[in-house]
Homo-oligomer: A and B are copies of this chain.
Amino acid sequence: MTTPPLNPADDAFAARLRAAGLPEDAFRPVEPRYLEERRGLLQGRAGLVVAPRVTEEVATVIRAANTARVGVVPYGGGTGLVGGQVCADGPAPLVLSLERMGAIRGVWPEENVLVAEAGAVLAEVQAAAEAVDRLFPLSLASEGTARIGGTLATNAGGVNVLRYGNARELCLGIEAVLPDGSVMHGLKRLRKDNTGYDLRGLLVGAEGTLGVITAAALRLFPRPAREGTALMVVASPRAALELLALAGARVGPGLNAFELISGQGMGFLAETGCTARVPFTDLPDWAVLIDLGLGPGDDPEAALADLFEAGAAAGLVSDGVIAHSEAQRAGLWAMREQIPEANKRVGAIGSHDISLPLSAIPDFLVVAGEAVARLGPYRVNAFGHLGDGNLHYNVFPPEGRTKSDFPGAREIVARTVHDIVAGFDGSFSAEHGVGRFKVDDLARYGDPARLAVMRAIKAALDPQGIMNPGAVLG
């Protein structure tokens, strides 16, 4: 299918929006913040920025855009890592910011449900849950800025997916404006609803290409009464996986997070002056951060000590630290959480948000490590959500040099890493999405039948191609 080119979001279109009833205060200046990719990887364009206050205004905007064939780029917190929120090519689009739709529409603690508008900041949603003694478990580095609509549109992950699932699994229902401007009312507060196709699941993760999520019913959970954290030194990634299985059997469903940390990552913390302290004299090659959330009658420190002993007896664990206070817990987590900052300070040649079948991870690390070494004198920091099979496989220049010393390396490294991932039946995007940066990867590695269905759905729901043009399917 070919569609005619889109039209720019120009003054004439602004006049149409006004004529359609969009109030003046919805028009925002085209500020740089709407056009910048945070790492400077893409410079966006916009003919207009609008920030509606209510769903009906969003519908007015989309309906007008569909009629006028104007591209619409939905904009949440701007923290996406794959360029999904920044449109650099084609006629200047309209940026649709959800920033003024940030209400928590309701909280039902007895149902463990919260309904938030798309513009609510993730940390505010977490706080609204905490205010009624509940947990909204989605937790990301960017949670102080990311908005819930964007985290749903990208099906965001984070550190608690192991226990609670990703954004899609935390979402019971959505309200969304479809590409024709109609409003899909689906804010059901239901755990089970088998009445036709799962459009909630389809729009979640569609990165704004099939419509704009305007509000969502989100799952809350009881707050774990007792929490505990440990850092354990493991002999190898394979030992880490065996420890994960041991934790599943011994600790059961209270395992919140199981994060892999590499010696390289710990080294970067010191190298870049991060404040987090590594609690070992000699940096180990590999460690895992284990976080538990248990019931009021449980003792997480004892459970972690038991796991440590079992791991040591099995030859998996050689050293470890169990937090004995909230401050110590925070210190261990700081180590994990400052690694992305340390990475940024070192300056990655390439960052790869990959996932693999769990049992393939040890072999992948060997094969990929050897392949990257053949490309140049690079350093690899592979870390992340081991419990989910999700690694951030980041490649860096050697000490004393910068990524600008290796022009062109980014593409070669990415292709090498992603080819190896594909060979292990893995994914080139575990939690960040496709956006604009990985459109070529999707075309290359995606199953042809699956791609054909995606294109057919896109053409059926958005025949003009106005929604987030250029994202996901290109």
Contacts and interface: CB of A to CB of B under 8 A. Distances in A.
Interface stretch (A28-36, A46-54, A157-165, A400-408): A157-165
A202 B201 contact: yes
| Interface of chain A, main secondary structure | mixed
A356 B192 CA distance: 9
A252 to B, nearest CB: 4
A110 B241 CA distance: 8
Interface residues of A, number: 102
30 contacts: A108-B357, A108-B358, A108-B359, A111-B357, A111-B358, A112-B358, A154-B194, A155-B194, A157-B194, A168-B198, A178-B449, A182-B448, A186-B450, A189-B357, A190-B355, A192-B385, A192-B389, A194-B429, A195-B428, A195-B446, A197-B202, A197-B205, A197-B457, A222-B249, A224-B252, A225-B252, A250-B296, A253-B254, A457-B460, A459-B460
B355 A450 contact: no
Contacts of A222: 245, 248-249, 252
A355 B252 contact: no
Contacts of A193: 355, 427, 429-430
Q: Which of A210, A446, A449, A456 has the most CB of B within 10 A?
A: A449
B447 A185 contact: yes
Interface string A130-166: 0000000000000000000000001101000111011
B450 A199 contact: yes
A432 interface: yes
B191 A390 contact: yes
Nearest to A222: B248
A215 interface: no
Contacts of A433: 194
Contact of A225 (B182, B197, B249): B249
A156 to B, nearest CB: 8
A426 interface: yes
Q: Which of A154, A186, A189 has the most CB of B within 10 A?
A: A189
Contact of A186 (B197, B245, B447): B447
Interface string A371-404: 0000000000000010111100000000000000
A256 B404 CA distance: 54
A452 interface: yes
Contacts of A88: none
Contacts of A202: 197-198, 201-202
A39 B336 CA distance: 57
A450 B306 contact: no
Contacts of A128: none
By Cβ-Cβ distance, the 7 closest A-B pairs, closest first, are A460-B460, A201-B201, A253-B253, A252-B295, A192-B430, A222-B248, A189-B357
B168 A450 contact: no
Nearest to A385: B192
A257 interface: no
Contacts of A473: 196
B389 A190 contact: yes
A367 interface: no
A389 B194 CA distance: 13
Interface string A37-63: 000000000000000000000000000
B204 A359 contact: no
A294 interface: yes
